[in-house]
Structure 1
Amino acid sequence: MTLDEKQAQLVGFWVDQGDEVVAPMAGEKKTSTRYEEATAHGIGHLTRVYGTRPVDPGERAAWLWSEQARLQRETRLGIPALVHEECLTGLAAWQAATYPTPLAWGASFDPALVERVGAAIGSSMRTLGIHQGLAPVLDVVRDPRWGRVDECIAEDPLVVGVIGTAYVRGMQSQGVHATLKHFVGYSASRAGRNHAPVHAGGREIEDVLLPPFEMAVREGGVRSVMNSYTDIDGIPVAADAHYLDDILRERWGFDGVVVSDYFAVDFLRSMHRIAADSSEAAALALTAGIDVELPSPDAYTTLAAQVRQGTLAEELLDRAVGRVLAQKEKLGLLDADFTAAPPTAVDLDSPAHRALARELAEESIVLLSNDGILPLVADPTRRIAVIGPNADSTEALMGCYSFVNHVLAHHPSTPAGIALPTVLEALRAELPDATVTHAVGCAAEGDDRSGIADAVATARAADLAVVVVGDRAGLFGRGTVGEGNDVDTLDLPGVQRELVEAIVETGTPVVLVAMTGRPYALDWALPPRATPGGASAGLGAVNSPAAARVSEEAPAARQPAAVLQTFFPGEEGAPALARLLTGRVDPSGRLPVSLPRSAGAQPYSYLHPVLGGRTDITSVDPTPVRPFGFGLGYTSFTRTAIEADATVVAGASFRVAVEVNNVGGRDGVDVVQLYAHDEVASVVRPVAQLIGFERIGLAAGESRRVTFDVPTERLAFTGRDGVRRVEPGRIRLWVGEACDHEEAVTTIEIVTAP
């Protein structure tokens, strides 16, 4: 290969890039190189062939097949391009199914279902000639003020790792390579601001932020990784060989391809300012371990010249090219026949897609409180008012990286191309004999209160009000959550709280639905709860999830009769919600993130040490209103008779078993959660750490013995010497309704090998 041919394999080209800002800084980073010039020696990637504009999938496939054949025919080496697309909530293309956002994956606690979703998305992509998907996001949520929280799975690294790895397995089972992002530290930025510096300690990085990526590499066999935009302690990750080479490749054995996040290489010059020009930025990134520059050639176009000048070792170029060619070989691109006819009729939103999307949406909805009003009893004379900015909105169902919100926002005259029933429409379909009225009340953002009076009148004339509030996903100031839409408050956007309180004051029972991309402070809408009877004082005083037990102190003001949390539930989210409200589906979602008390309590994680929770030595109470793992159903469960091995050798696995009983009058689903606490350790440890979970369905009155086989590595942490290991000592174990509820408790002793 010539130097120019090698360089060409290390860049992408955004063929269809227009004036829409669909990526960070894209408006300022227009590609000046003509496509014909950029592909004269071949090309590494084609960027978002289907996902930049609303194009007919069949027509676009015909263009892509012909273009791949041209690259084979007209370039000396005849190497086709690798095609990548966004696929965070489904393939981000026109007419493609839109699934719930990743935060909803976490709320489902169902890796097997997420694996099926990944496979379905991968199948659509492979049919269209797409080879690589830019998902999943394995950033662990550290601060809900961050705009990209809805792209994340959870605040717990085990949940992120298990569910993210399941998505990887599903997608790659279809011959499409998944891409882990954003490696690493992106979500730990100061004050939850996009691209802001990260000053996380080495132990937080090793024990919280890195494990999900390690799991997806070692256990999921992921084939691609994307760097984080951020800098960690002053070193941009895009130029840090410690993460991209020492940890990712040498320690974990990753042998795939590292691609840059969009424009990240040139950001070394323009934003981080550790490079004087694009040549220096390219040399820094390539040396650190970034193999491919995406989305288009900006800095890596200087690589061949640098080698010719003797300022860059050709071995670095060869190293990256070898990885890219190996990836293309694994994908079958080097032997692909593009003279065959491309697909013409492609159903990207088949009934199978929609059934999966609805199943995941149903499993992800979290019931936060319920005074008995739910499930709704069928009553043909019932009058239901459906109110709120998200009650009759299709955009409110989907996250930032959905095609509708990410791309079609720039094409308002183009239809979505898929069926997107709203909550209003779904409730009318679910309750055909009821009288269902509607009022918007207010917008998702802004201070216009002119519609509240009409909403109040509509509620007063009804027997029940379903009030749907929350977010509108977008980018860089367009919307209330999403990439670049960071906040300094966790109050509901705009005047939505005023709307809810006005409806509640009418005396009409209210079912509040928060349809959001981040958890908001909803303490004003939820009843207070007593400390769980099984909580240990040594773990800090925290709110109990135990059946949302209400304390003796009555709330100061009226509150909704029931509150539900749903995280952008996708195209089938509204029918899923309607089925849950009427009781055709039992609520089974659990909070993948703590429900915050206020923005002032952030950053907060349930993985806090004793002094990170509520104590007597500070007046600030960071305790969440509802904790990680919390979620109610229409039935009740107990967890009893826990048993564990007495001892386990460090490095081995141990067994924990618990009896789970459905003691209510309905069938239901429980998410059995196993937590641990290292009672005395050489460094400060969290008061609770999830080490196992499993969804189980039980009929009314049914009991089941649930057994966990737990590798002791899940209790590993970084010691004072900087080495991550499993330390001997006594571990407290419990199963409960959430992280803070010790319902069934036992202990185990970790010992060293004889």
Structure 2
Amino acid sequence: MAVEEKVAQLFGVWVGASREGGEVAPHQHDMEEAVDLDGLLPNGLGQLTRPFGTAPVDPAIGALSLLRTQERITRANRFAIPALAHEECLAGFATWGATAYPVPLSWGATFDPALIREMAGAIGRDMRSVGVHQGLAPVLDVVRDARWGRVEETIGEDPYLVGTIATAYIQGLESAGIVATLKHFAGYSASVAGRNLAPVAMGPRERADVILLPFEMAVRESGARSVMHAYTDTDGMPAVADEWLLTGLLRDTWGFGGTVVADYFGIAFLKTLHGMAGTWAEAAGAALVAGVDVELPTVKTFGGPLLDAIAAGQVPEALIDRALRRVLVQKAQLGLLDPDWSPVPSGLAGADLSDPEAVRGSVDLDPPANREIARRIAERAIVLLSNDGTLPLGRPGKIAIIGPNANDPLAVLGCYSFPQHVLVHHPGVPTRIGLPTLREALAAEFPGTEIVTAPGTTVDGLDTGGFPEAVELARGADVVVAALGDRAGLFGRGTSGEGCDAESTALPGVQQGLLDALIGTGTPVVTTLLAGRPYALGDAAGGSAAIVQSFFPGQEGTSAIAGVLSGRVNPSGRLPVSVPRRPGVHPSTYLSARLAQVSEVSNIDPTPAFGFGHGLSYTTFEWSDLEVADSEAGTDGELRLAFTIRNTGDREGAEIVQLYLHDPVASVVRPTQRLIGYARVPLGPGQASRVRVTVPADLASFTGREGRRIVEPGELELRLSASSTDPRLAATVTLTGPVRHVDHTRRLHAAFAVSVPGDEDA
């Protein structure tokens, strides 16, 4: 291949995006330039950016258009190499008419990797059916500050939970033949003060033990074939130019063999934002040296500037060859280099391709099976934070649904859903998916009950003029459902989402004032949050009759919430992030050392209102009969525990067993406790299960003083808990022997064996 042909495989083109279009990526308007596609194609093309996710297009028409584009690309280049098409799929395939699933923060709330794997498989099959090859998901960033706008895109604040749920998602996506993309590697979520793209002030120990752990797990266990670099810089080093990170750790140590792709315009940001490159060519060279293989979303630095730098001897052609080999290997894995490759996707098999109108409407990306998965996730993700006995509601005579999210069909969607991400730029275009409002869902759930509603205020407005009407309706009702929370958007157009960072974790606008006024009526208030981050409710947390937390639960979300309120659904969701007690206290993550918690040396109490892992049920569970089979093991051994869980209530439910490790004395400061395992245990009324847990000593490892991961001898406490703030059983155990060094091949999981109910003694 000529050098021009090699370089052409290393960038994408964003057809349909322009300076005049809607802004859906950082600095899109600054970076987009007219692309001469006819001039590019004779040399080939690496990727096509978002052929379905840029504007509303019927899926079948989009598939046919992509097919024609691929035919054009293969005819134009002498090796007949097709482009790889990528799309967003953070909460479902981000295209018009596709199922809108709950956001990743809801995935974390399920504590159910198998269900998330099932969802991802469905998403992947839909993408493949229309000719897409790569999905830009999942996000493996660990929440460090809830003010960050992209919290909704994350899975939670604990690296083990993030790693296990993300790995399951990747396995599902890859099982459908879609290249999953791990992002954002690494440290994006730890930006100073939770500001998007702000610098990261983080030491190597926090980076290794918190930020990198989910990526390490995913690389080892998921089969992921792509990684996307983070935008941010850590201690002055942007991830896009960090050779230690993208090559030394990712490839040389962990053994990753796939492609590293740029976050949108991230290479150019070395010049425009980071100030580490004086020219586009210097930016391209720095990224190539670090290990970036593909420039996305469109050609900027990897085109003419890179070719000029190669010609001038400033960038070795060997770096081009290295990246090209990875790109072509991936295309070969996808079958794109097979002699009999066909651009016709499965969704168009047998269709009359000569007539676009004949195929219109023939591809269904929101079938009943998808919606069933979305429903199960939404139901398992809802977290009942508090309840004074008001829930379930039974059959009240009159419900007042008050709040800005009471009648908004988009209140269940995150910023990377197609309606919130793209359709906002196309007013009047229908969503093509069912999005019942909370009012509609409650009316369907409570037939015969009088439903009245008022917004009270907007999500982020300051107008309190609607308060009197809201208070009057509340006083005349049997119960109030306060529908509060966020509006998803991008770059300041919402209260949650990319570029929508918050000054504090107070409810946006005057929603807190509305909630306080509703509670002041004396009518029981069920505070219902449809949000992208946790919010501190202040005194209203105690004044609410119940608090129901959902994190943008997708198109089946309002029905799931209604089911929880009626009792049709027994809530089993658990918090993937802590809920702060006061809006100005940061950070609120449970994963903190002793001095980060309440102490006598500070007047600020950062204790959360509801801790990580918390969630209530309509039944009760008893934990008993702890047996420590092995209370002592070598630093290379394992410990074994067993205990019994019994459902002592009168209805079926699921308990989430959470295993935390507390290391009272270590050679460096450690978090007070950290999650090292969990299991979902469903039980019918009166049923019991015997749960056996095997804990490898490797799970006690951490980064020691010298920067190497070690397992130290000494006393540990294993806490079997219902949440990070609710330990039920505890075992003191001891590791013996020498300090042991471990690496990326160490064991990462505790093994849970749950007996069949009724056979708990088996």
Please give the range of the TM-score, normalised by the shorter of the 2 chains. Answer: over 0.9
Q: Post-superposition shift, 1:503?
A: 1.4
The corresponding residue for 2:746 is none
Following TM superposition, by how much is the alpha carbon of 1:632 offset from its aligned partner in structure 2, in angstroms?
0.5
The count of aligned residue pairs is 721
Instruction: Give the 3-state SS of the residue equivalent to 1:333 in structure 2.
Output: coil
Change (3 A) 1:392 1:227: same
Alignment of 1:244-643 (within 5 A): 244-301=246-303, 302-335=305-338, 336-338=341-343, 343=348, 344=359, 345-379=362-396, 382-527=397-542, 559-643=543-627
Deviation at 1:27, TM superposition (A): 1.6
* Secondary structure, counterpart of 1:693 in structure 2: strand
For 1:671-720, what per-residue CA distance to the aligned partner results, in whole angstroms no more than 9, with x for missing partners?
11111111211111111111111111111221111222333332211000
How many angstroms apart in 1 are the aligned matches of 2:4 and 2:641? 59
The one-letter code matched in structure 1 to 2:590 is Y
Aligned-partner Cα distance in 2 for 1:342–1:461: 53
Tell me, yes or no, if structure 1 residue 709 matches structure 2 residue 694: yes
> Aligned-pair distance for 1:40?
2.5
Between the aligned partners of 2:679 and 2:85, the Cα distance in structure 1 is 36
Q: Deviations over 1:466-514 (max 9, x none)?
A: 1110000101110111111111111100111111111121222111101
Query: Aligned AA for 2:588?
Result: Y
1:741 Cα deviation from its structure 2 partner: 2.3
1:523, CA displacement in angstroms?
3.0
Secondary structure of the corresponding residue to residue 731 of structure 1: strand
Q: Give the residue type in structure 2 aligned to 1:305.
A: D
Aligned partner of 1:546 in structure 2 is none
Post-superposition offset of 1:11: 0.2
One-letter identity of the residue aligned with 2:5: E
Does the CA contact (< 8 Å) of 1:641 and 1:744 recur in 2?
no
Tell whether the 8 Å contact from 2:268 to 2:300 is kept in structure 1 after alignment.
yes
Stretch deviating more after TM superposition (205-214 or 700-709): 700-709
1:666 aligns with 2:651: yes
Paired-residue identity, %: 51
SS in 1 for 2:642: strand
Return 595-604 or 45-54, whichever deviates more. 595-604
How many Å separate the matches in 1 of 2:593 and 2:726?
A: 16
Deviation at 1:341, TM superposition (A): 8.2
Q: Aligned partners of 1:163, 1:708: CA distance in 2, in Å?
A: 20
Distance 2:698 2:81 in 1: 43
Distance in 2, Cα, partners of 1:629 & 1:733: 16
Q: Aligned equivalents of 2:47 and 2:554: distance in 1?
A: 29
2: distance between equivalents of 1:641 and 1:523?
38
Question: Aligned letter for 2:596?
Answer: G
The offset of 1:281, in angstroms, is: 0.2
Rounded to whole Å, the distance in 2 between the matches of 1:505 and 1:662 is 36
Q: CA deviation at 1:126?
A: 0.6
Query: Hey, what does 2:197 align to over in structure 1?
Result: 195
Letter in structure 2 aligned against 1:591 = L
Instruction: Give 2:81's match in structure 1, choosing from 53, 76, 79.
Output: 79
Aligned-partner Cα distance in 2 for 1:68–1:652: 55
Matched AA of 1:579: G
C-alpha separation between the residues in 2 aligned to 1:431 and 1:742?
37
Letter in structure 2 aligned against 1:696 = V
Letter in 2 for 1:611: L
Deviations 1:248-277 (A, max 9, x none): 001100000000000000000000010001
1:536 matched residue in structure 2: none
Distance 1:341 1:680, change over 3 A: closer
CA deviation string 1:43-69 (max 9, x = no partner)? 111000000100111111111111112
1:69–1:339 Cα contact (<8 Å) kept: no
SS of aligned partner of 1:216: helix
**Preserved contact between residue 386 and residue 424 of structure 1 (Cα < 8 Å):** yes
How well do the aligned residues superpose, as a CA RMSD in angstroms? 1.4
Counterpart pick for 2:49 among 38, 41, 47: 47
AA aligned opposite 1:22: V
Q: Distance in 2 between matches of 1:255 and 1:649?
A: 34
CA distance in 1, matches of 2:367, 2:638: 42
Q: Secondary structure at the match of 1:714?
A: helix
Deviation at 1:652, TM superposition (A): 4.1
TM-score by length of 2: 0.93
Structure 1 residue 342 displacement after superposition: 5.9
- CA–CA distance in 2 between the matches of 1:177 and 1:595? 34
- Contact 1:50/1:57 (<8 A) preserved: yes
Distance verdict in 2 for CA 1:339–1:203, change over 3 Å: closer
Q: Deviations over 1:20-51 (max 9, x none)?
A: 10011112111232222232311111000000
SS in 2 for 1:454: helix
SS of equivalent residue, structure 1 residue 697: strand
**Number of the residue aligned with 2:63:** 61
Aligned residue in 1 for 2:30: 28
Distance across 2 between alignment mates of 1:310 and 1:599:
55
Query: Which residue number in structure 1 is paired with residue 757 of structure 2?
Result: none
For 2:195, give the aligned amino acid: R
1:339 CA drift (Å): 6.0
Which range is displaced more, 602-611 or 385-394?
A: 602-611
